[in-house]
């Protein structure tokens, strides 16, 4: 071509070409041609130039009736004998007088139709001479006079050598004159029917044709149809070289330019690509019958039907080859080059015309350059954007159009994705391999896929991805119908409905495959890029949209954005809640960008593979710990569960993500969906107004046991609580409130449980020591209380307790659900059966709960309403005491009453579990009960031994006033309910079952069991039980309130006879005994009977359990109800002895005197 075409070979040629099917409107041109040549100098088909420029051949097909004399004397192809038979058989009669019509008819014949070799030879020589004859050049000068003057390159061509026509063919895109355009179009049609007619093509590609075995170039050995096959063969060789296929031949650079030039010049009319024309002629009639030729319209129509089942395989192959050439040079697409011409120039995307296959000429460069302009908010014409979308869709439909994919992904395609070529299925299969769902992928293949996704940019319009579009059509129509078709938010909508009922499986797979690659380049989410490009440039030092950095790992820009969205740059710490961003506006994201970052985080939480940094750092740990976790969201949960076991890089990224979740739990999209009913009912205000405060999770925790709470939500909330205990930073509100306190008081402690224990211990110590100033801040103490209460709800939130009791839980509480402190309650109820380690932990827990009842989750839950009714003015530590005082109120809820009784039973097992008693009897316990304390261990109950000891001392009236008051309360309570006396329960369980089953089975305990045991004292066989009953009798002497049955029977008598006598120290009992002995006093029959029974019991008790010593005897007398009577008898006896002594003394003295006198 260099000898014939002296213009830049990559100059963009765009124009609207008239169809080559008709030659109407050419009368003027034809007339001029006829005038030039009426008398041929050489016979047609001869060796010399054919001087048979047909004078009338180019007239209108319908002008046969008015043929002129000059036309009739012109040479006609139809008159040649060698072609007459073929002409008669193949061409309509009305075209015989038009040489160009005959030429078009014969060269566009069907493949299966053969024409005579001599006719072939004649036609070829005619066309060759036609393109080189100087007379045609003179016609071109006359017809295209105006055009030549406008095109400087053509005006400068030397006439008489055939250069002018070639130049006009090159610049036909710039020809606006209709007649000139028609003339050049016809010449182009003739030239492109045979590569040998293209000036210079043979010289430049001769060696490559031979090397590629593209066919003989000798005249006559190949018919006219095969000439297109030679060019097609060269084009395929060019594609193979670009794809670096094994054995690919390296085509010379000049030939490459010629091949691309031919493809470019044939881009407006598919007739000019002879191989494709013949391969797709029938398909064109089938699919594109109504599509006018020219402007590349037929090409586009056929491209759109490329994957139709009815399309022939040969046509599909030819279309693919042309698409691959377009991928190498966008100018091979007439419509794209024309539509985007001004935009390419405007945004400096135009290629150097001296470098036809330079990087800038590639379709990918054009797409990236113009897409960059669109994403930056620049104006790109709608026509150009439409063309770009067509070719982006083309790239997504057929992976083979991207040489890098074919080259680098060959083994992946052969191993996993063979046979899926059509409609983008192979590409999506490769994406699935890239996700790691089907084994490892070559890094070069991964990069090629990422590059292709950027070039096609399906994130901007889901319709570009045909496989996704078809798979998700039903979901879009139902779930996303409110969004405009083609809007980028469609993909976001689909992600929001991932793993919901509206999602279908095929759509789910295609969506995740695409999102995997979009997640690795923040620019591929157009909404995120639009809102955050300024912030990314300012904070993350990003490049332009179409520029990439090999040094930047996937997902690094987005990681930078979300760090700035949730944290201040200083020390990587988050902004305090409520701190104004304006304090440091240069280091924080804009509000719009922050919203988009949160949206992306919410979507990425659905699948760990959508977080590039997480997947990159945790690949080993995912395989090691989470290979069996395949359900949605399970992989991240698994990594969080194994946080301590992860490698440091993985642990860091999982920790950061968990920290973000604590601040904005809505990142956990699956959890939010599961918890929607609870949120709508109880947390809607928090959810609507939440701005990075962690309030929503707090609300879900507080309402974890509401009726709207379903199992999925409950499990998710509990899981997050369990994760939070691993690191105090994972609890946003706790971290924010106590960060400074932790650094000061609990440095180097990481686990939240340990931090809570450390801080709560500090608070308790400061309180006990009456410190002037608490070391833990007020806001931290407040949040600390919230954390302690939350931890008490589930035993798993206290790891040490849970680990210590896991064996016991499996043995004793295997059917008890976690949560609501039910497992802890179960362990408490089975305390005597626990292993020593668990028993010790439970005892410590109960000790803490009794000191601070607000940490007793079950008590606070069951008695919540009763606390509001009776104890609104009580401090938290006095709640249980308040409830105990109101236990027997008619307004008390039965369930709460039952819970209070349980706690009383617990308290009575050990004085250490009753902080009020412990404080009141601080001096009495070591004074009277030291032997018991000496035998006790630190973490095990004394089973009521100390309290029993104090009870006996109460009966002996030896306790201090404060301690006596507390023991009196205990005696009164245990007298009504035998379960409150641990020693009685331990020793008398069998006797109660044998002697008092009905009384023990009663729902309301009012002292019936104790009365039954007293009545059946003689029938009791076990010595331990008998001793406890005798102790009860002894205690009852000290105060009538300790004997509820007697007190009830004698209530009226006490009121009448003993109203002036204060209770305590046996005074009212003595009063009743005196009244019993006084015959003037008439007691109530029931009271009289009960009193008599008590006297008999005390008499029996005195016989069975005599005093251990004089002091004990004296105490028994002093505490006896018959104290006065006994003292009177003793006094009378002593007086009698004294008198007897006096008498005996006098008598013996008289006898002695008498003896002396003797």
Lowest mean pLDDT among 29-33, 405-409, 948-952, 1013-1017: 29-33
**615 close to 628: Cβ distance less than 8 angstroms:** no
Angstrom distance (rounded) from CA 394 to CA 399: 9
Structure tokens at 952: 């006996």
8, burial (CB in 10 Å: exposed 0-12, middle 13-18, buried 19+)? middle
Instruction: Note the pLDDT of residue 1139.
Output: 78
Instruction: Determine how many CB atoms are found less than 10 A away from the CB of residue 803.
Output: 13
> Residue 1134's pLDDT band (boundaries 50, 70, 90)?
confident
Q: Torsions phi, psi of 223, nearest 5? A: -75, 180
Lowest mean pLDDT among 12-26, 245-259, 619-633: 12-26
Percent of the chain with pLDDT over 70: 80
- Give me Rg for the CA atoms of the chain: 52
Instruction: Note the pLDDT of residue 692.
Output: 54
Residues 6+ apart with CB under 8 A from 18: 181, 182, 185, 294
Q: How many CA atoms lie within 13 A of 32 on its CB side?
A: 16
Who wins on pLDDT, 89 or 864?
864
Instruction: Note the pLDDT of residue 1146.
Output: 58
Nearest to 77 by CA among 94, 59, 100: 100
Who wins on pLDDT, 9 or 827?
827
15 pLDDT higher than 80: no
> Residue 93's pLDDT band (boundaries 50, 70, 90)?
confident
Instruction: Note the pLDDT of residue 46.
Output: 36
Instruction: Note the pLDDT of residue 1145.
Output: 65
**316 close to 301: Cβ distance less than 8 angstroms:** no
9 pLDDT higher than 90: no
The string of DSSP letters for 893-942 reads: -HHHHHHHHHHHHHHHH-GGG-HHHHHHTTTHHHHH-HHHHHH--TTS--
187 pLDDT higher than 80: no
Instruction: Note the pLDDT of residue 586.
Output: 59
* Residue given tokens 């005696």 in the structure block: 971
Who wins on pLDDT, 360 or 988?
988
Instruction: Note the pLDDT of residue 193.
Output: 59
821 pLDDT higher than 60: yes
Instruction: Note the pLDDT of residue 1060.
Output: 86
Beta-strand (E) ranges in 766-879? none
Lowest mean pLDDT among 347-356, 557-566, 696-705, 875-884: 347-356
Instruction: Note the pLDDT of residue 688.
Output: 73
pLDDT tens per residue across span 279-311: 898 899 999 988 888 888 999 999 999 988 899
**103 close to 66: Cβ distance less than 8 angstroms:** no
Instruction: Note the pLDDT of residue 568.
Output: 45
Instruction: Note the pLDDT of residue 867.
Output: 94
Lowest mean pLDDT among 116-130, 136-150, 957-971: 116-130
Average the pLDDT over 104-123 and give the result: 69
pLDDT tens per residue across span 364-417: 888 888 988 888 888 999 999 999 999 999 989 888 888 888 888 988 888 888
Instruction: Note the pLDDT of residue 240.
Output: 87
Nearest to 397 by CA among 368, 372, 422, 363: 422
Average the pLDDT over 813-840 and give the result: 91
Instruction: Note the pLDDT of residue 846.
Output: 92
> Residue 210's pLDDT band (boundaries 50, 70, 90)?
confident
Q: Torsions phi, psi of 439, nearest 5? A: 105, -175
> Residue 4's pLDDT band (boundaries 50, 70, 90)?
very low
Average the pLDDT over 718-743 and give the result: 90
Average the pLDDT over 1127-1149 and give the result: 74
> Residue 221's pLDDT band (boundaries 50, 70, 90)?
very low
Mean pLDDT of the chain: 80
Percent of the chain with pLDDT over 90: 24
């Amino acid at each position: 071509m260099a000898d014939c075409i002296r213009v830049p070979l990559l100059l963009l040629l765009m124009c609207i070409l008239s169809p080559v099917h008709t030659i109407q409107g050419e009368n003027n041109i034809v007339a001029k041609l006829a005038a030039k040549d009426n008398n041929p100098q050489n016979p047609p088909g001869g060796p010399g130039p054919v001087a048979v420029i047909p004078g009338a051949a180019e007239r209108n097909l319908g002008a046969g009736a008015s043929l002129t004399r000059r036309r009739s004397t012109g040479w006609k192809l139809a008159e040649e004998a060698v072609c007459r038979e073929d002409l008669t058989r193949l061409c309509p009669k009305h075209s015989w007088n038009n040489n160009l019509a005959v030429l078009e008819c014969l060269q566009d014949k069907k493949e299966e139709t053969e024409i005579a070799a001599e006719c072939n030879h004649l036609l070829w020589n005619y066309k060759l001479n036609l393109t080189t004859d100087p007379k045609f050049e003179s016609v071109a000068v006359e017809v295209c006079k105006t055009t030549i003057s406008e095109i400087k390159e053509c005006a400068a061509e030397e006439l008489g050598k055939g250069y002018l026509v070639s130049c006009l063919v090159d610049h036909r895109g710039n020809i606006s004159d209709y007649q000139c355009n028609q003339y050049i179009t016809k010449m182009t049609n003739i030239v492109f029917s045979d590569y040998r007619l293209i000036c210079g093509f043979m010289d430049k590609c001769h060696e490559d044709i031979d090397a590629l075995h593209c066919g003989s170039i000798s005249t006559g050995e190949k018919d006219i149809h095969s000439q297109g096959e030679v060019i097609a063969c060269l084009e395929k060789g060019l594609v193979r070289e670009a794809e670096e296929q094994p054995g690919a031949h390296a085509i010379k650079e000049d030939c490459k330019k010629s091949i691309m030039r031919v493809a470019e010049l044939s881009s407006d009319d598919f007739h000019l690509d002879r191989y494709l024309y013949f391969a797709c002629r029938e398909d064109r009639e089938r699919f594109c019958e109504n599509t006018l030729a020219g402007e590349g319209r037929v090409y586009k129509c056929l491209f759109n039907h490329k994957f139709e089942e009815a399309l022939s395989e040969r046509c599909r192959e030819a279309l693919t080859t042309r698409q691959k050439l377009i991928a190498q040079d966008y100018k091979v697409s007439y419509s794209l080059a024309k539509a985007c011409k001004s935009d390419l120039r405007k945004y400096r995307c135009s290629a150097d015309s001296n470098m036809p296959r330079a990087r800038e000429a590639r379709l990918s460069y054009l797409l990236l350059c113009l897409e960059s302009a669109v994403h930056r908010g620049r104006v790109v014409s709608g026509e150009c954007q439409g063309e770009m979308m067509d070719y982006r869709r083309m790239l997504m439909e057929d992976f083979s159009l991207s040489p890098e994919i074919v080259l680098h992904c060959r083994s992946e395609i052969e191993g996993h994705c063979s046979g899926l070529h059509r409609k983008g299925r192979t590409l999506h299969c490769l994406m699935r391999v890239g996700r790691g769902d089907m084994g490892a992928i070559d890094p070069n293949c991964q990069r090629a896929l990422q590059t292709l996704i950027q070039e096609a940019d399906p994130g901007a319009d889901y319709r570009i991805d045909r496989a996704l579009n078809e798979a998700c059509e039903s979901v879009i129509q139902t779930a996303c119908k409110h969004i405009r078709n083609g809007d980028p938010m469609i993909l976001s909508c689909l992600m929001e409905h991932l793993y919901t009922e509206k999602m279908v499986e095929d759509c789910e797979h295609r969506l995740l495959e695409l999102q995997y690659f979009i997640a690795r380049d923040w620019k591929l989410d157009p909404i995120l890029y639009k809102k955050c490009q300024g912030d990314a440039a300012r904070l993350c030092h990003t490049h332009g949209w179409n520029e990439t950095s090999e040094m930047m790992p996937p997902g690094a820009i987005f990681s930078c954005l979300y760090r700035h969205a949730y944290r201040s740059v200083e020390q990587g710490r988050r902004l305090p809640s409520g701190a104004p961003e304006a304090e440091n506006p240069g280091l924080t994201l804009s509000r719009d960008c922050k919203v988009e970052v949160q949206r992306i985080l919410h979507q990425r939480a659905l699948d760990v593979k959508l977080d590039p940094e997480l997947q990159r750092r945790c690949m080993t740990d995912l395989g090691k710990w989470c290979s069996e976790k395949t359900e949605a969201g399970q992989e991240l949960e698994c990594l969080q569960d194994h946080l301590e076991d992860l490698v440091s890089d993985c642990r860091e990224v999982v920790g950061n993500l968990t920290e973000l979740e604590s601040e904005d739990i809505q990142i956990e999209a699956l959890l939010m969906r599961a918890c929607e009913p609870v949120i709508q009912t109880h947390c809607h205000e928090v959810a609507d107004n939440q701005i990075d405060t962690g309030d929503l999770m707090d609300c879900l925790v507080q309402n974890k046991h509401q009726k709207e709470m379903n199992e999925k939500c409950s499990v998710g909330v509990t899981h997050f609580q369990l994760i939070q205990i691993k690191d105090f930073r994972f609890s946003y509100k706790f971290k924010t409130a106590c960060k400074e306190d932790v650094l000061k008081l609990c440095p180097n402690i990481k686990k939240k449980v340990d931090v809570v224990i450390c801080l709560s211990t500090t608070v308790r110590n400061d309180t006990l020591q009456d410190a002037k100033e608490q070391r833990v801040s007020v806001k931290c103490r407040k949040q600390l209380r919230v954390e302690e209460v939350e931890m008490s709800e589930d035993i798993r939130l206290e790891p040490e307790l849970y680990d210590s009791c896991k064996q016991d839980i499996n043995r004793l509480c295997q059917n008890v659900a976690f949560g609501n402190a039910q497992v802890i309650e179960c362990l408490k109820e089975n305390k005597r059966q626990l292993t020593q380690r668990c028993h010790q932990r439970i005892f410590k827990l109960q000790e803490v709960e009794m000191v601070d009842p607000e940490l007793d989750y079950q008590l606070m839950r069951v008695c919540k309403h009763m606390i509001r009714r009776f104890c609104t003015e009580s401090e938290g530590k006095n709640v249980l005491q308040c409830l105990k005082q109101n236990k027997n109120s008619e307004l008390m809820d039965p369930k709460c009453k039952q819970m209070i009784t349980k706690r009383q039973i617990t308290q009575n097992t050990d004085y250490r579990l009753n902080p009020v008693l412990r404080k009141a009897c601080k001096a009495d316990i070591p004074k009277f009960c030291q032997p018991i304390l000496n035998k006790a261990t630190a973490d095990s109950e004394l089973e009521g031994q100390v309290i029993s000891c104090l009870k006996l001392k109460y009966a002996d009236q030896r306790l201090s006033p404060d301690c006596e008051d507390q023991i009196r309360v205990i005696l009164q309570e245990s007298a009504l309910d035998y379960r409150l006396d641990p020693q009685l329960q331990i020793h008398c369980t069998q006797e109660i079952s044998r002697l008092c089953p009905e009384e023990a089975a009663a729902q309301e305990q009012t002292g019936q069991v104790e009365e039954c045991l007293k009545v059946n004292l003689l029938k009791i066989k076990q010595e331990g039980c008998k001793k406890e009953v005798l102790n009860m009798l002894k205690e009852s002497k000290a105060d009538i309130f300790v004997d509820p049955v007697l007190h009830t029977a004698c209530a009226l008598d006490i009121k009448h006879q003993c109203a002036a006598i204060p209770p305590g120290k046996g005074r009212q009992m003595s009063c009743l005994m005196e009244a019993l002995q006084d015959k003037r006093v008439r007691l109530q029959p029931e009271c009289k009977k009960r009193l008599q029974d008590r006297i008999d019991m005390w008499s029996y008790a005195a016989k069975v359990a005599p005093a251990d010593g004089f002091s004990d005897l004296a105490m028994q007398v002093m505490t006896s109800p018959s104290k006065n009577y006994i003292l009177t008898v003793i006094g009378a006896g002593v007086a009698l002895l004294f008198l007897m002594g006096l008498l005996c003394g006098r008598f013996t003295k008289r006898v002695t005197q008498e003896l002396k006198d003797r």
